Chain A
Amino acid sequence: MRGAEEDLKKLRKDIIEMVYKSKEGHLPSAFSILELLFVLYGDFLKYNPRNPEDSNRDIFILSKGHGSQALYAVLAHYGFFERTNLFSFCKFDSPFGGHPDRNKVPGVEASTGSLGHGFPMALGMALAFKIQNKPNRVFVLIGDGESEEGTIWESTMLALNLNLDNLIVILDKNKSQYYAYDHNHVKIWKSFGWHTLEIKDGHNLNEIRNVFQEINKSEHDKPKIIVAHTTKGKGISFIENNREWHHRALNEEEYDKCMEELK
């Protein structure tokens, strides 16, 4: 576990580096999902980084595309491409944009950015696997703010009616949505008839693993959602839960402070 903690510090540093160098990005939104992606790619998702198009792979779609920096760092960590490439983030000819592009980055399954698109696209992929009689699973990560989009609720009803038990939604409840309204996502998704689980601390690797394992073991003939309570900007004291930082560049002094905290 100690190794994992070190890896996560390294990934956070990589993300800071990307955002600092480019003066672009959504740092807090990337930090809230980092542990979730780290465990998903580390222990649960089936894929082959040397053959990202492997037809037997599971699918992961980052519906809240502005968290792309976490996805890039994790994909590099698990061997999809060289880590050093990350630092071209948001440069003119870089494959790594502020929102991910499936046609440029190995391992990115869907180009996302506008909220409420990745979720229904994930339904389509899950339905395709059913039509093709394939066992592949589809994971999709949405934000709590994103859950205000109407397509999320259209798709929530649809997934149940289409019996998509191969669809697993992860909701990053990083509380940015509290700026508008808070919703009881667990209660709501349960009431829609989904198999609903909760991660109380979305940065606790043991808890994330346990809940993902529960999904693996469950035989529920239903789509599944994991509501993960996270901290926006997790890991940097002055960025955590600080709304000023949602879409802000780091100056040199702030960069140094971040690196000091991640020592």
Chain B
Amino acid sequence: MHGRVKMRAQFTKTVMDIGEDEKVVLLVGDIGVWGLRHFKEKYPTRFYNIGICEQSMMSLSAGLAMAGLIPIIHSITPFVTERCFEQIKDDFCYQGLGGNIVSVGSCFDYAGLGCTHHCYSDIAIIRALPRTQIIYPASEIEFDLLMKQTYNNNKLTYFRLPQKKHSYKFSQDQIKFGKGIKVSEGKDITVIAAGPQLENVLKAKVDLENENIFPEIIYIHTIKPLDKDIIRNSAVKTKRVLTIEEHNILGGLADEVSRNLEDMGGVAISRMGVNDEFITDYGTYEEICKSIDLTPEGISKKIRMMVNE
């Protein structure tokens, strides 16, 4: 739970900074009101708790953008993406307007609350809309820098904030919108990780290197637009690519990576994530990860299989 508090706390800090831009308006769907109280105190005319009506909140935010303002729309992942998909499509993307959606509770973060509160299709649906950008940060510095780099670039930018973080420390100049980060050099397989799963990949790497398997690890915080070059340059070398994400294996990082490798012959591609099924168990985030092999052991096993094939 600690991780969630940190990412949300970073959201409140980052919007305080961005709020200095008088065009920025923050709208929440009846969540985070306490955490964002300082924003409300400092910018009282630019904070709105719109209530539990995400579709209207989305269209209303598009109206603000039409009048030249920059909305930041905040709620829980399925409600601020799947529920108001048509509003994002028609009222932001088709109109040609810019805005920012910041969701919390990604994938199965709300493990015990069941499928209505899980969301493994958000990246797939938003990715399929023209004029969108998708940013999936899993440490505070990533969110802070990427939001500051993109919030006013007149695109619809979706920030997916996970509850958990990875512990890898990036330097400030490593974090650039649209650019992947090579976390470790390797030669046998390219492992492309998004979100908190970087942590499990790094743990898997220690065991694998003891077995003389050297994965090249690429971390992706910007799913769209994807850093095509970093992935292709690695795939040419290793000839094996594995994607790892907390999302349906259909429609997310895996598809975006595959799409960018489809003209390259001789590369074996595989994917790990939610296996196109509803996760109907409850329990904890860790228990659900384990049930779909998103653990250091599960990832090592998959990599061994691919390398030894």
B59-98 CB contacts (< 8 Å) to partner A:
59-69, 86-87, 90-91, 94-96
The digit string for B91-111, where 1 denotes a CB below 8 A from any CB of A, is 100111000000000000000
In the complex, whether A111 has a CB less than 8 A from a CB of chain B is: yes
User: In the complex, how many angstroms separate the beta carbon of B25 from the nearest chain A beta carbon?
Assistant: 7
Contacts A103-B95, A110-B95, A151-B56 given; indicate if A120 touches B90 (C-beta within 8 A): no
Complex Cα gap A124–B94 (Å): 17
Chain A residues positioned under 8 Å from B60 (CB to CB): 120-121, 123-124, 127, 155, 158
Query: Bound state CA distance, A233 and B254, in angstroms?
Result: 52
Residue on A nearest B52 in the bound complex, by CB = A154
Given contacts A117-B91, A131-B46, 20 further A-B contacts (CB under 8 A): A103-B95, A110-B63, A111-B94, A113-B90, A114-B86, A114-B90, A117-B87, A120-B55, A120-B59, A124-B59, A124-B62, A124-B64, A124-B65, A125-B63, A128-B64, A151-B53, A154-B53, A155-B56, A155-B59, A158-B50
| Most central of A113, A132, A151 by chain B CB within 10 Å | A151
Q: Does B35 contact A (CB under 8 A)?
A: no
Residue in contact with B67 in the complex, picked from A111, A120, A124, A162, CB distance below 8 Å: A124
Contact of A111 among B45, B46, B50, B90 (CB under 8 A): B90
A130 to B60, CA, bound (A): 13
Q: CA–CA, A132 to B15, complex, Å?
A: 20
Give the CA-CA distance A16 to B174 in the complex, in Å. Answer: 61
Top 3 closest pairs, chain A to chain B, by CB? A124-B63, A128-B67, A120-B59
Q: Which of B51, B66, B86 contacts A125 (CB 8 A)?
A: B66
Can you report 27 A-B residue pairs in the complex whose CB atoms are below 8 A from each other? A103-B95, A103-B96, A110-B66, A111-B90, A111-B94, A114-B90, A117-B91, A120-B58, A120-B59, A121-B59, A121-B63, A121-B66, A121-B91, A123-B56, A123-B60, A124-B62, A124-B66, A128-B69, A131-B46, A151-B53, A151-B56, A154-B53, A155-B59, A155-B60, A157-B53, A158-B50, A158-B60
Give a binary string over A107-120; 1 marks a CB under 8 Å from any B CB, 0 the rest: 00111011011011
With a CB–CB cut-off of 8 A, which chain A residues contact B63?
110, 120-128
User: Please, which residue of chain A has its CB at the minimum distance from the CB of B61?
Assistant: A124
Q: Does A129 contact B (CB under 8 A)?
A: yes
Instruction: Write the nearest CB–CB distance from B42 to chain A, whole angstroms.
Output: 15
Instruction: Say yes or no: B55 contacts A154, CB within 8 Å.
Output: yes
- Which chain A residue shows the least CB distance to B46? A131
Q: What residues of chain A lie closer than 8 Å to B46, measured between beta carbons?
A: 131
The interface bits of chain A over 90-107 (1 if a CB of B lies within 8 angstroms of the residue's CB, else 0) are 000000000000110000
Within 8 A of B (CB), among A116-152: 116-117, 119-132, 150-151
The count of residues in chain A whose C-beta lies closer than 8 Å to any C-beta of chain B is 30
How many residues of chain B get a CB closer than 8 Å to chain A's CBs? 28
- Provide the residues of chain A in CB contact with B53, threshold 8 Å: 151, 154-155, 157-158
Residues of A near B58 (CB, < 8 A) are 120
Which A residues are in CB contact (< 8 Å) with B45? 130-131
Residues of the A chain whose Cβ atoms lie less than 8 Å from the Cβ of B87? 117, 120
Please, how many angstroms separate the alpha-carbon atoms of A50 and B244 in the complex? Answer: 55
Which residue of chain A has its CB nearest to the CB of B89?
A114
CB contacts (< 8 Å) of B61 on chain A: these are 124
Residues of A close to B69: CB separation below 8 A: 128, 131-132
Smallest CB separation, A21 vs chain B (Å): 26
Q: Which residues of A contact B94 (CB under 8 A)?
A: 111
Closest Cβ of chain A to B276, distance in Å, is 29
Give the distance to chain B from A221, nearest Cβ to Cβ, in Å.
Answer: 17
Inter-subunit contact A158/B51 (CB<8 Å)? yes
| CA distance in complex: A157, B50 (Å) | 10
A114 proximity list for chain B (CB < 8 A): 86, 90
A102 to B50: give the CA distance in the assembly, Å. Answer: 26
A148 CB to closest chain B CB, in angstroms?
14
Please indicate the chain B residues that have their CB under 8 angstroms from the CB of A154 in the complex.
Answer: 53, 55-56
